[in-house]
Structure 1
Amino acid sequence: MTGEDVVRLRPPTGTLNERAVGWWRTQWLLLTGAPVLVLAVLGALLGPARSWLWVPAGILAVAGLACAAFFPRWWFRVHRWEVTDDAVYVRTGAFWQEWRIAPMSRIQTVDTVRGPLEQAFRLATVTVTTASARGAIRIQGLDHELAAELAERLTRITRATPGDAT
């Protein structure tokens, strides 16, 4: 094979919706806020003998705020996706990058999911299922209208693509 015959994997070009940053921050705050609240209430209700509960509550609160401030912006920078007539490409991660490629001929189902929090941020997740043992490919943090258009486009392309999807 000559140097001209080599196919290089390039980064996918699609970015997520900017609102995904707020969605991820809210998830972090909810995830850490619930245990902080439980520890704080227990510390208050059990009185001075259990005031030590305030220490882990404070540590967890600071860690949760730091993670909510840092990680969502970072994830937004490194998550990429793209759909071509041949495949769906998704790249996630910075330290441990994961590239997932689903050829159109292998796609079995295309779903859009909008949980309550995603609905509040007008976002959706597109899930592309194949027969792969690695599981489905998810593109999270898309504008809900773009996600619907993408699901429709993928359905159209896979219907016209020969293959057995197994």
Structure 2
Amino acid sequence: MTAPRLVALVDPAHRASRRAPMAWAVEAAIPWCVIAGAQLIWLAVGQRWLWMHGAAAGLTVLGAVISIGVVPRWRYRVHRWEVSAHAVYTRTGWLVQERRIAPISRVQTVDTYRGPLDRLFGLANVTVTTASSAGAVRIVALDSAVADDVAAWLTDIAASTTDEGT
């Protein structure tokens, strides 16, 4: 009996859009602005325990700096994607990293999503739904034109695949 042929896994080749870190930073800033606003209201209503106000403000600044300044850049360095004639590959995460590989023969639907911030930054996300219990494969923060091209190409590849993967 011969051993199965092993294929070396390489990192997906393509990065998210260069505008992705800015979009992720703005997305992260929104809840921190709400928290800072709540702290200002708390300070205006109750001037007691100023040390507690200072501690809360310090934690807010620290959390905001990490969430807005560090995490988006880190995510950008990690996030990768690639589509080949055989599979869709993604690597995502920043603290916990996940690698997903979905064979083209298992692709069921291909969707694009553009939220308000995505549209503001000219970005889009592609979701590839497969016959997998692990869920869909998401390619995030692509330039809108690239996302449309990827979705069209994936649809063409999946439609021309004669292999029944489900």
Distance in structure 2 (CA, Å) of the matches to 1:95 and 1:43: 34
1:98 partnered with 2:128? no
Contact 1:40 1:53 in 2 (8 A): no
| Aligned pairs (5 A) from 1:24-103 | 24-44=24-44, 46-49=45-48, 51=50, 52-93=52-93, 96-103=96-103
Contact 2:107 2:130 in 1 (8 A): yes
1:113 partnered with 2:119? no
Contact 2:71 2:94 in 1 (8 A): no
Where structure 2 has 5 or more consecutive residues not aligned to the other structure, the ranges are none
Q: Normalised by the size of structure 2, how large is the TM-score?
A: 0.89
Q: Which amino acid aligns with 2:23?
A: W
Kindly, what percent of the aligned residue pairs are identical? 40
CA distances 1:48-101 after superposition (whole Å, capped 9, x unpaired): 236434531342133212321111111111111000011100012466432101
Q: Aligned residue for 1:130?
A: 130
Counting matched residue pairs gives: 164
Once superposed, what is the RMSD of the aligned Cα atoms? Answer: 2.0
Distance in structure 2 (CA, Å) of the matches to 1:116 and 1:95: 26
Where structure 1 has 5 or more consecutive residues not aligned to the other structure, the ranges are none
Distance in structure 2 (CA, Å) of the matches to 1:102 and 1:91: 12
Q: Which amino acid aligns with 1:49?
A: R
Q: 1:146 to 1:70 in 2, by over 3 A?
A: same
Q: 1:95 to 1:71 in 2, by over 3 A?
A: closer
Deviation of 1:33 (Å): 1.6
Contact 1:40 1:54 in 2 (8 A): no
Q: Normalised by the size of structure 1, how large is the TM-score?
A: 0.89
Task: Tell which deviates more after alignment, 29-38 or 120-129.
Answer: 29-38
Deviation of 1:160 (Å): 0.3
Distance in structure 2 (CA, Å) of the matches to 1:54 and 1:120: 35
